């Protein structure tokens, strides 16, 4: 049976994430122990305000996600399901793309992945602050028709920064920009019958505001010795095989370019889920904190079964469900 595996992005972090996986699965314990005491403390006992800091959020979610993935793979093997399931591709939402690339072998060491995403978090956080250290921008979820939301973006941008940046589902498009432009967007959206909900994030991710972060992230990635993935990974920026345009020369340089571009470009998540459906995927498993991607899968392609794996309970429930499907 064909399945897809997708990896959670930033925003679903919570205190205690991964703790029961650490206690139940040696595979998860190994990853948390390798990550170090600071990350374990943040994951298991960190308060809400600490976990909201981007340079903390990114390595903690990445570590928890990879621990959950390794535990899931161990359980599938234990239940003798690994031979019955064909993973057609991986994908990850923003930060989750680094987990997808790790699962696919492009990032060949989890410690390396933690280092990359920690630096990525710091760079993205810095890019979103003004000279006084205050957030320059933010994000809002537009609930309604995509075309109407993008019309409101065009009307409200004026001379500021404002873009549609997360195309999540047929009825959800996230917009990012500077504070003044977002205020104008909310008015323009309301006039079109679109509900705009401000998101609790620190800046305008995946927008032109992230250009300085992307340029510096390129330097981080250039020395990370990234490799061509051993499995297909669908890229956020194209909703297609990340290696589609690779000419076979330097995989590290190619992936550096793709991931730097990702930090300042839209995420085409609805199109990724539709790509899985076109591939004949029968179930999508979301790995990592929360179940946002599971919900988006159901809204976009309701015929695909969707499960999330973030703790022991959800892992075992997902494996049991897959056993029934097989």
Give catalytic residue positions: 94, 206
Residues in the chain, total? 326
Structure tokens of 108? 């060949």
- Is 172 within 8 Å of 140 (Cβ atoms)? no
Residue 300 burial class via C-beta count within 10 angstroms: exposed 0-12, middle 13-18, buried 19 and up:
buried
End-to-end CA distance of the chain: 7
> Could you give the 3-state DSSP secondary structure of residue 197?
strand
Q: How far is 107 from 101, CA to CA, in rounded Å?
A: 6
> Could you give the 3-state DSSP secondary structure of residue 177?
strand
- Beta strand 2-7 with 283-287: parallel, antiparallel or unpaired? parallel
Reduced DSSP (H G I as helix, E B as strand, rest coil) percent helix, strand, coil of the chain, to 5: 50, 15, 30
Q: How far is 32 from 40, CA to CA, in rounded Å?
A: 6
- Is 173 within 8 Å of 148 (Cβ atoms)? no
Q: Which residues contact 149 (CB under 8 A, 6 or more apart)?
A: 142, 164, 173, 175, 189, 192, 194
């Amino acid at each position: 049976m064909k399945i897809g595996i997708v990896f959670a992005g930033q925003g679903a972090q919570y205190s205690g994430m991964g703790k029961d996986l650490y206690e139940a699965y040696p595979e998860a314990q190994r990853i948390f122990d390798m990550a170090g005491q600071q990350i374990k403390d943040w994951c298991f006992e960190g308060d809400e305000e600490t976990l909201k800091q981007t340079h903390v959020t990114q390595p903690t979610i990445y570590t928890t996600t990879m621990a959950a993935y390794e535990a899931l793979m161990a359980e599938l093997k234990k239940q003798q399901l690994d031979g019955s399931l064909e993973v057609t591709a991986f994908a990850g939402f923003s930060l989750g793309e680094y987990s997808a690339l790790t699962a696919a072998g492009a990032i060949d060491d989890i410690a390396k992945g933690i280092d990359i995403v920690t630096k990525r978090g710091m760079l993205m956080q810095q890019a979103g602050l003004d000279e006084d250290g205050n957030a320059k921008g933010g994000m809002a979820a537009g609930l309604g028709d995509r075309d109407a939301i993008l019309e409101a973006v065009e009307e409200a941008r004026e001379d500021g920064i404002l873009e549609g940046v997360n195309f999540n589902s047929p009825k959800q498009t996230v917009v990012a920009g500077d504070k003044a432009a977002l205020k104008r967007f909310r008015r323009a959206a309301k006039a079109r019958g679109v509900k705009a909900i401000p998101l609790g994030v620190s800046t305008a991710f995946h927008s032109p505001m992230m250009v300085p972060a992307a340029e510096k992230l390129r330097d981080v990635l250039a020395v990370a010795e990234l490799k061509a993935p051993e499995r297909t990974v669908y890229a956020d920026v194209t909703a297609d095989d990340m290696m589609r345009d690779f000419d076979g020369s330097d995989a590290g340089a190619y992936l550096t370019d793709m991931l730097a571009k990702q930090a300042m470009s839209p995420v085409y998540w609805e199109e990724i889920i539709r790509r899985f459906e076109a591939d004949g995927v029968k179930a999508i498993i979301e790995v990592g904190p929360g179940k946002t991607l599971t919900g988006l899968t159901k809204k976009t392609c309701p015929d695909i079964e969707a499960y999330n794996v973030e703790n022991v309970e959800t892992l075992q429930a997902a494996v049991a469900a897959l056993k029934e499907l097989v």
